[in-house]
Amino acid sequence: MKHTPEPWAADCDVGTWEVWRDFVGEDNRTYATRVCAVVDYENDTAEANAKRIVACVNACRGIPTADLQKLRLVKAVDALNGIDAIGANIDCEGYCGISLTLQEMRVQ
């Protein structure tokens, strides 16, 4: 089973927040495919949830889902909390099978 490739985006269409991805068709035209709709009684909550889903999925690009499902990944992320020295090397190898630096994680 494969998930929809990244990058994902979120947008509100007629009061419903949607998570979607652009792709180029065989005709070289760009299309959008909906990944899911995010609905909540409070639209602010739906917006926040849609944006969080997109941020998490895009941040995890290239990491196998099986690795993400391991509890050890939570420990690796917790190890990064509170560190603000850009370029500091953080070795997550023992937690989740990946090695990251804050430089690689910095949002462009």
Q: Are residues 18 and 32 in the same domain?
A: yes
The 10s digit of each residue's pLDDT in 53-77 is 999 999 889 888 887 777 666 666 6
> What's the structural domain count of the chain?
2
Give the pLDDT score at 89: 46
Q: Are residues 57 and 13 in the same domain?
A: yes
User: H or E element: which one contains 51?
Assistant: helix 43-59
Give the pLDDT score at 14: 80
Residue range(s) defining the domain that contains residue 2 = 1-62
Determine the residue type at 86.
Answer: I
53 Ramachandran zone, left/alpha/beta (phi>0; psi -120 to 50): alpha
The burial class, CB within 10 Å (0-12 / 13-18 / 19+), for 53 is middle
The 10s digit of each residue's pLDDT in 79-107 is 666 554 444 444 444 444 444 444 444 43
